Structure 1
Amino acid sequence: MTSLIEQAKQKAAYQAVDEHVLPSHRVIGVGSGSTVVHVVARLLQRDPELNAKTVFVPTSFQSRGLLLDGGLNVGDVDQYPDIDVTIDGADEVDSQLNAIKGGGGAHLQEKVVAEAAKKFVIVADYRKNSKILGEQWKQGVPIEVAPFAWRVVLVKIQNMGSKDAKLRMAVAKAGPVVTDNGNFLIDAPFGLIQDPANLLKDIKLITGVVEVGLFCNMAEIAYFGNEDGSVAIRTK
């Protein structure tokens, strides 16, 4: 089963890279997560001379490591605020290309790099393909919060209707997960999210919230690798 899922991720990632990373591109955003491993693998198969002329902007410690291990040129978004294309994974994507991201805790940097790009492309496997956000992804909307404010924010999120919202705790250590930016994470289930853009706005207005893992009206196209080896493409 795992190999089928990995093959699905690879199919989607390879096709997205082939169709959206052009020889003329000089700055490419590279997202985070398990599907992005295949994105980097495909980038490494490009003409080395093209890669030598290209800067790759990672969205997390993980993707930075993948790029550096591959010998690619790595830059920061503050150095390269104009990105040609960003390719990233997602935890779930709805019929309007709104997405939940942040299962890996990197959605602040992911959103900055996605918004800096002329084109934002999502790659995922069939398990992430939904009509409405919340159908498949049950863990909740990831919310990055300032550490000193997490309890205040949590109460407000619970009062907004996410009764089961909770601080994300680390697995291999005692205490909460800490993001690459030194913040905490709250996971807030809202059931089926009929209006993700409005929910994003409401959460973002809470003081102490740094970023919300709802990516609304950002992606131009999404690639989903299917179990049968095909790739489903969704556009607006």
Structure 2
Amino acid sequence: MSDVNVETAKRAAAQQAVKEHFNPNATHVGIGSGTTIVYVVEAIKAASTNPSILFVPTGYQSRQVIVNAGLTPIAFDSLPERVMLDVAFDGADEVDEDLNCIKGGGACLFQEKLVAEKAKKFVCVADYRKNQPRLLTNWPTIPIEVAPIAVPTVLHDLCILGSTGPKLRTTLLEKSGPLKTDQDFFIIDAPFTTLLLASDVAAGKGKGDGSDGTWEVNKVATAIKNLTGVLEVGIFSGLNGIDAEEVRKNDGGRTVVTGGQKPVAVYFGMQDGSVQMRVAANK
């Protein structure tokens, strides 16, 4: 497939996702990072009749896309405490059958996770290359945002967890040194074996806790997040926004819902110009 066809696939997915999940009466909308998001903002601009909507970017690049479209950005930390985003649109580096995602190839994973967890629903937009049965099938590594001073320790600990050759990500000009995130943190890219789903563990395909060389998605995310010096892990799993809201309602808001929220739906632009939409199995 040519680059032109890949871009056409991205635009088709973005247009359908916006058509089905963007409400012109929304008050706050999250906008993620990456090339696909350019087409999401393009579609929102075409569909929006409400100049009062505030758009929350996940980083510098997405803020510029919002501004260039003539829309109004607002910083995440300017949101009132109890305000939830009506919807957040973002891309992914890879998505598995359970809608778990790897994100962070563009080094915005911490802010992307903040926005996803603040949204009533996170909608993922991607092209067909990102659609895989399990995470780390085609995408090679888990991106991890790390405090600079902790890089040597985290690299060592990742090897103990079973990562084969984790590396500090550098800029395109390697002589310029490590790539810095919007938080002035560094990114480590950690290869692991293909990640299992909970159903794989239940079927006896591996223990999923690292003891036999296999990891289940949620367990490896937790293990990495627990390493001292790690700010965030580029695995978006756990509850989706609809399920998270149900938990909050059932316990009066006493539960802190974490996990980065996997999407309620993923829109894949396909090679033939069509769009394949996948939702959570229980929805």
TM over 0.5: yes
Task: Specify the TM-score bucket, using the shorter chain as the normaliser.
Answer: over 0.9
Q: Does 1:229 align with 2:229?
A: no
Segment drifting more, 167-176 vs 88-97: 167-176
- CA distance in 2: counterparts of 1:153 and 1:133, whole angstroms: 22
CA contact (8 A) 2:12 2:273 kept: yes
> What is the SS of the residue equivalent to 1:123?
strand
Correspondence for 1:107 among 89, 106, 109: 109
Correspondence for 2:128 among 117, 121, 126: 126
Correspondence for 1:205 among 219, 222, 226: 226
The structure with the largest strand share of the pair is 1
Which amino acid is 1:28 matched to?
Answer: V
Q: Does 1:65 align with 2:38?
A: no
| Superposition deviation, residue 44 in structure 1 | 1.4
- CA distance in 2: counterparts of 1:129 and 1:234, whole angstroms: 10
Within 5 Å, give how 1:29-68 maps onto structure 2.
29-47=30-48, 49-50=49-50, 52-68=51-67
- Structure 2: stretches of 5+ with no match in the other structure: 197-215, 239-261
Q: Does 1:184 align with 2:205?
A: no
- Structure 1: stretches of 5+ with no match in the other structure: none
> What is the Cα-based RMSD across aligned positions, in Å?
0.9
Aligned length: 233
- CA distance in 1: counterparts of 2:193 and 2:164, whole angstroms: 11
Q: TM-score, normalised by structure 1?
A: 0.96
> What is the SS of the residue equivalent to 1:57?
strand
Q: TM-score, normalised by structure 2?
A: 0.81
- CA distance in 2: counterparts of 1:122 and 1:147, whole angstroms: 30
- CA distance in 1: counterparts of 2:40 and 2:4, whole angstroms: 17
- CA distance in 1: counterparts of 2:60 and 2:193, whole angstroms: 30
Q: Which has the larger radius of gyration?
A: 2
* Deviation >3 Å, runs of 4+: none
- CA distance in 2: counterparts of 1:205 and 1:35, whole angstroms: 31
Deviations 1:13-72 (A, max 9, x none): 11101110112211000000010010111111124x41x110000001100001111121
| Superposition deviation, residue 78 in structure 1 | 1.9
Q: Does 1:15 align with 2:59?
A: no
Identity %: 46
Q: Does 1:146 align with 2:190?
A: no
Match of residue 89 from structure 2: 87
> What is the SS of the residue equivalent to 1:11?
helix
- CA distance in 2: counterparts of 1:213 and 1:179, whole angstroms: 13
| Superposition deviation, residue 163 in structure 1 | 1.9
